[in-house]
Structure 1
Amino acid sequence: MKGYWAVILIMIVIQISFFWAGVKPACALADSRDCGRLYLLSNGAVAAAIGSAELWLRVRSRYHKQVVTGCGFVLSCLLYFIVEPFADGAQMAWIVPIVVPLVYFDRRLLLITGGMTSVSYAGVYLLLERPVFDKPLLEFLLVEAMIALFIFIANGVIIRAYEASMELEQLTKSEQSLLVERAISDRLLKIDALTELYNHKTFHEYLDSLLEQCEKNGLKLQLGLLDIDNFKQINDTYGHWIGDIVLKEVAARLRETIGLNDFAARYGGEEFAVIFTDKTLEESREMVEKLREAVERMEHPYAGDKPITVSIGLCEYERGDAKEMLFRKTDDALYEAKRTGKNKVVLCTGAYASLSSK
């Protein structure tokens, strides 16, 4: 709508310039004192049409395209009658309503508006241009051809824009599919398929990054190694598929127990690894003890309802220790838990005192 206001403002400026320069209208009514009033009325009608359309767009939420196009059609008619008495080529004003559907990329609106424009100009020629201005038939045909050509070009632009939009949509969908496939691929590379915990490789990558933070920024970190007690006996007695079920259930309890900033992985076979961050050693000990108790309380009707337990070794990283030293201490604590009766949590402090046992 701002474009319409700009057009009417320009036309008013041009008319005032013509009057100041003494340019007389070529119309038969040019000598009439009512000529000025006629143009004032025409400009007022244009302003009223634009104002009405502006009001509709602000108040109503429907038919915006139709209102803007209709306003353009009325504007083109009135501009034609304003310009025609002063200069040739006023027929170009009939192009205005055809431009609006092109802005909206609406083919149906373009064809309807184009047809109305062509018919309206034919009526103007037969009722005004031919009898009053004595315009030749060839000029009428040229203007109609120009309108038809503009409609044809605008229609081609809309079709091409639609095709480009479809191509862009297909490209976007393809890119989204690639992103999804890449995300799935990354997940498959990082996640253990059976337990849905992180795998051995991802665990070490994450641990290396955290150990750097420990050395640089003093991040607190504890490593826990968890091993299912007598797992080989479970496999030999009930079969490997029962063993897989046990692994899944222990992994589920592990996910439920750890915090958002912690990291759990299937380290290999029946062994799991957990990295605790931003916690004290006592807080981490309480979490692994909670995990041990949760596993012990699980029921296993598929395994003769015999209890399944875990042994856990827990160690806090100390600055200066390499990753290998951290694993060695934690593995020693796990071995101590296994050696001293299983189903317990052992810290790698001093003589590996058991903090919890059944």
Structure 2
Amino acid sequence: MSNIVALVVIRVALDRDDQQLRRWERKIAFGYRMFIGLYALAGASTLPVAWLIARASFVSYVQSHLLYPLVLLAVVEGCVEWGLSRLRRGRHTLLIVTGVLLASIAIYFNPRLHAIESILLLPILASVFFLSPKKVWLAGILAMLAECILYWLNPFHGHESGTTPYDLITFIVELVGETVVCHGIIARGAEIWEELRKRGRLETELLVRQIVSEKDAKTDALTGLYNRKSFNEYLEFALRISAETDTPLHLAVIDIDNFKQVNDRHGHLVGDDILRRTARAIEYHLAAGDFLARYGGEEFALIIPEMSHEEAVAHVEKIREKIANIHHAELTTQHATVSIGLCTYVPGEDSQALFQRADQCLYQAKKSGKNRTIAHP
């Protein structure tokens, strides 16, 4: 049982972690869409100024600073959306690469914009959500590589207004520092995360053990039915509901005939098999709302609500006949019958009096030949 509980706990924890990572993936992808939207909004806001300053080159400005980059950004975003819906593995890497590409496209088409290279820090920050130092370093290395490529592709390279080698080295150092800091955050976060997971697993395992313990306390170990304590508790509840709602309630006491002889002749192991088969047969033919318990020894108690007296008699008679037809290869007669005592609840009657009347009916069924039902309204 402890191994099963452990497997259940681990599985629940892994499923919970996987769902959390999926949510972060969707949030990062949504952040990328927001980035494209903000880029389009910022580019559109500069169009009036560009028109006033340089009307002759306005079309060229729109193409180079708005149209071309937006098309490339949309293509990259479309690819990542497709990949997230199709790939089972590598989604985190895809998101990191996508972030670097989006940042690189924005930088390439706006080289004169002050401090625009800083958006290469965004993929590194996004990689923190994956709680993996490898992913952080992957984002950092890709960002450094992208910065070097953009430096050589920069059309303003070497000009006073462009990026200088000193600027390149300074920014790469910033990227390295950012990556190291994120690595430290991941390392500390991983420690806290693992501690929380251990506590969560322990609490879940304790809860499962408590549930199993409560179930064991309410059920019979041999048959798996409710035990006598559970029956007594439920009978009190059923009587109260019947009295408050004025609905009929019946109690049947079922006893296996000649069970002592079965144990004496064939042994208690065979007797246990007979008990289990009889319990399964009664369970199989229960109606909705019935409550079955092993009362003790070879005796079962069945609470039947919301049926008329005649319907309850027919119900238990069907159960008795089915049990009488069960084939038991271990027995000489190959059959084990039951006797049933059934009575209907009388308003104002307590549980003890009700059970005594049902037990008296059972006694009459035994005395009058067994394998029969005696019912009193």
Taking structure 1 as the reference length, the TM-score comes to 0.79
How many Å apart are 1:346 and its aligned residue?
Answer: 0.7
Q: 1:215 aligns with which of 232, 243, 261?
A: 243
Question: In structure 2, what is the Cα distance between the partners aligned to 1:139 and 1:11?
Answer: 25
The worse-fitting range, judged by mean Cα deviation, of 123-132 and 268-277 is 123-132
Q: What are the equivalent positions in structure 2 for 1:62-81 lying under 5 Å apart?
A: 62=87, 69-70=96-97, 72-80=99-107
Aligned residue in 1 for 2:144 = 118
Aligned residue in 1 for 2:159 = 132
Cα shift readout 1:206-238 (whole Å, capped 9, x = no counterpart): 111111100111232110112223333333333
Q: CA contact under 8 A between 1:332 and 1:348: conserved in structure 2?
A: no
Q: What are the equivalent positions in structure 2 for 1:1-358 lying under 5 Å apart?
A: 1-9=32-40, 11-12=42-43, 15=46, 34=57, 37-38=60-61, 40-57=63-80, 61-62=86-87, 69-70=96-97, 72-80=99-107, 85=112, 87=114, 89-102=115-128, 107-122=133-148, 131-133=158-160, 139-160=167-188, 166-305=194-333, 307-349=335-377
Q: CA contact under 8 A between 1:8 and 1:46: conserved in structure 2?
A: no
Say if 1:271 and 1:85 are closer, same or farther in 2 by CA, change over 3 A. closer
Number of matched residues? 340
How many Å apart are 1:46 and its aligned residue?
Answer: 2.0
Aligned residue in 2 for 1:355 = none
Q: CA contact under 8 A between 1:49 and 1:74: conserved in structure 2?
A: no
How many Å apart are 1:141 and its aligned residue?
Answer: 3.6
How many Å apart are 1:179 and its aligned residue?
Answer: 3.7
How many Å apart are 1:90 and its aligned residue?
Answer: 3.7
User: What stretches of structure 2 of length at least 5 have no aligned partner?
Assistant: 1-31
Percent identity, aligned pairs only?
A: 26
How many Å apart are 1:251 and its aligned residue?
Answer: 1.9
Task: Specify the SS of the correspondent of 1:303.
Answer: coil
**Higher Cα radius of gyration:** 1
The worse-fitting range, judged by mean Cα deviation, of 11-20 and 254-263 is 11-20
How many Å apart are 1:154 and its aligned residue?
Answer: 2.8
How many Å apart are 1:201 and its aligned residue?
Answer: 0.2
How many Å apart are 1:183 and its aligned residue?
Answer: 2.8
User: What stretches of structure 1 of length at least 5 have no aligned partner?
Assistant: 23-30, 350-358
Task: Specify the SS of the correspondent of 2:349.
Answer: coil
Question: In structure 2, what is the Cα distance between the partners aligned to 1:221 and 1:97?
Answer: 69
Q: CA contact under 8 A between 1:98 and 1:151: conserved in structure 2?
A: yes
Question: In structure 1, what is the Cα distance between the partners aligned to 2:138 and 2:289?
Answer: 63
How many Å apart are 1:132 and its aligned residue?
Answer: 0.9
Say if 1:260 and 1:280 are closer, same or farther in 2 by CA, change over 3 A. same
The one-letter amino acid of 1:228's match is I
Say if 1:95 and 1:43 are closer, same or farther in 2 by CA, change over 3 A. farther
Question: In structure 2, what is the Cα distance between the partners aligned to 1:157 and 1:333?
Answer: 75
The one-letter amino acid of 2:103's match is S
Cα shift readout 1:298-321 (whole Å, capped 9, x = no counterpart): 344433226533221100112121
Taking structure 2 as the reference length, the TM-score comes to 0.75
The one-letter amino acid of 1:177's match is E
Task: Specify the SS of the correspondent of 2:158.
Answer: coil
Question: In structure 2, what is the Cα distance between the partners aligned to 1:299 and 1:84?
Answer: 89
Say if 1:67 and 1:36 are closer, same or farther in 2 by CA, change over 3 A. farther
Task: Specify the SS of the correspondent of 2:317.
Answer: helix
Cα shift readout 1:314-345 (whole Å, capped 9, x = no counterpart): 00112121212211221221122222232221
The worse-fitting range, judged by mean Cα deviation, of 331-340 and 70-79 is 70-79
* CA RMSD, Structure 1 to Structure 2 (Å): 3.5
